[in-house]
Amino acid sequence: MCPPAEPASPILCYVTDRRSLPLATSADAHRLLLDSIERAASAGADWIQLREKDHTGRAWTGLVGASLERIARSGARTRLLVNDRLDVALGCRAGGVHLSENGIPVAEACRLRDEFFRAPAERANFLVGVSCHSRGSALAAARAGADYLYFGPVFYTPSKANYGPPQGLEALAQVARAVAVPVLAIGGVTAENAPACFRAGASGVAAIRLFQEDPMLRATLAALRSAVRPA
pLDDT tens readout for residues 26-42: 678 889 999 999 999 99
Task: Read off the DSSP letter of residue 44.
Answer: T
What's the CA gap between 167 and 176, in Å, rounded?
13
**For 139-157, how does the pLDDT look when each residue is reduced to its tens digit (9 = 90+)?**
999 999 999 999 999 998 7
What's the CA gap between 65 and 40, in Å, rounded?
17
Q: Which CATH architecture describes the domain 11-226?
A: Alpha-Beta Barrel (3.20)
3-class DSSP assignment, residue 9:
coil
* Residue 217 · residue 39 · CB < 8 Å: yes
User: Which one, of 48, 111, 41, 114, lies nearest residue 83 by Cα?
Assistant: 48
Task: Read off the DSSP letter of residue 7.
Answer: P
What's the CA gap between 213 and 75, in Å, rounded?
22
pTM of the model: 0.92
Q: pLDDT-based confidence at 22, cuts 50/70/90? A: confident
Q: Where are the chain's structural domains?
A: 11-226
Which residues have a Cβ under 8 Å from the Cβ of 58 and sit 6 or more positions away?
none
User: Which one, of 92, 90, 89, 91, lies nearest residue 81 by Cα?
Assistant: 89
* Residue 74 · residue 66 · CB < 8 Å: no
Average pLDDT of every residue of the chain? 92
Which residues have a Cβ under 8 Å from the Cβ of 135 and sit 6 or more positions away?
171, 174, 175, 178
Most distant CA atoms of the chain, gap in Å:
49
Q: pLDDT-based confidence at 10, cuts 50/70/90? A: very high
Burial 146-159 (b: 16+ CB within 10 A, else e): bbbbbbbbbbebeb
- The CA-to-CA distance between both ends of the chain, in Å, stands at 36
**For 63-118, how does the pLDDT look when each residue is reduced to its tens digit (9 = 90+)?**
999 999 999 999 999 999 999 999 999 999 999 999 998 889 999 999 999 999 99
What's the CA gap between 156 and 152, in Å, rounded?
9
* Residue 97 · residue 89 · CB < 8 Å: yes
* Residue 159 · residue 193 · CB < 8 Å: no
